[in-house]
Amino acid sequence: MKDVFISYNSPKQEVAEAIVKYLESNGVSCFIDFRDMPGGESYGGALVRAVKDCNMQLFIFSEAANENTKNILAELEIAHKKEMPRLTISLDDCEPVDDIDFYISSRHNVKCYPDPIDTYLPLILSNIKNLLPEKPPVLEEKEEEVVPTTVFRYDPKNGRMINPADGERNVSFRTDTFINMMGGIYEKVAAISNDVIAQDIFFDSGYAGGKNFANRINSKWGDGFSIEEMQKKIRQWCAFDSAVGWGKFEADINFDEENDTIYGTLAITEAFIVDTENKRKVCAFIRGYCTGILNTLLGDLEVELTCRSCPLEKKLSRKCIFDVKMKG
């Protein structure tokens, strides 16, 4: 039994191989035809068994799929009959033909362009792990340590959690543990001053953390400040933080050269640091964090974030939405 059946068209084999390599290096087993299809059997029978022996399907959609639908439609149909989870990733902005759209329109679709596929690998991994059935913990034979089934890699020798996306050490908290820890600090500060000062302190703390993180982004992803480079780094940052659990980040930030300004929105679905139970404004930290990242990625340009929609004020909302505009 494999975790993921890879559906793709041969012109996109290089992309498919890159995805398989990344997924399998992070503990997700894959079936891909050119490597795993058994020889000496009818292709149709082997294909049916291969799809049925996987837990989910990853469909790599592009214009190439529209141009040659035969095998793709067969794989989509088998997975559809099995009612297995499917993740579709789009490599370009073309619209699927009707036969393909029938299968993918009601399922999750992740946009993986215009940047190289490597940019989106952590996001693909995160989405796949959300769709796969939970696996029991695995014990390492020598160390006898539990290997967590998360996007992190456990280093039993040093007792560290490593994020494969950047190779850096991470610490994993339950959400309620982290919010209560931050909330306790917030209450102490507010008690000896007021809520405004407490929020300012949390904002400044988040800003420093975001600035530090963005400096590392610049060192790894390039420190250029053309509009194209800044937009690319913002997309990479959103994909990265979406993959590691801060929430799902979506930036719609516009650069208006004619009026020499920047404007737009930043939305975070299921933001990690939101105290919906006790209503403490610890979320000032995430506003500072995002502001610090954006100001660092934008070089000598500065923006400010103001709350447009807040889960603390809207009971049915699970999304933080910030307005982004040029400062001054």
What is the number of structural domains in the chain? 3
Q: What is the pLDDT of residues 5-28, one digit of tens each?
A: 999 999 999 999 999 999 999 999
200 and 127 in a common domain: no
Q: Containing H/E element for 297? A: helix 284-297
Of 131, 160, 190, the residue at which a domain comes to its end is: 131
Lowest mean pLDDT among 21-25, 217-221, 248-252, 279-283: 217-221
The model's pLDDT over 237-275, given as tens digits with 9 standing for 90+, comes to 888 888 776 788 988 898 888 888 998 898 888 877 887
Same domain, 15 and 152: no
Mean pLDDT value across residues 312-323? 79
Structure confidence at residue 23 (pLDDT): 97
pLDDT at 39: 66
Q: Where are the beta strands (DSSP E) in the chain?
A: 2-7, 30-31, 54-61, 86-90, 109-111, 138-139, 146-147, 153-155, 160-163, 168-170, 248-256, 261-269, 303-309, 319-326
**pTM of the full structure:** 0.55
Domain that holds residue 194: 177-326
pLDDT at 146 over 50: no
> Do residue 181 and residue 311 come from a single domain?
yes
| Whether residue 154 has pLDDT greater than 80 | no
| CATH code at position 288 | 3.30.1380.20
Please report, for the domain that includes residue 47, its CATH number. 3.40.50.10140
- Name the domain boundary from 103, 131, 159: 131
Residue 135: pLDDT above 70?
A: no
What is the average pLDDT score of the chain?
A: 83
60 and 92 in a single domain? The answer is yes
Q: Which of 43, 56, 40 is nearest to 3 (CA)?
A: 56
CA dihedral sign, ordered 280, 285, 286, 291:
positive
Highest mean pLDDT range out of 3-12, 38-47, 295-304?
A: 3-12
Please indicate, yes or no, whether residues 203 and 270 belong to a single structural domain of this protein: yes
Domain end position, chosen among 75, 110, 131 = 131
- Say yes or no: 253 and 194 in one domain: yes
**150 and 205: one domain?**
no
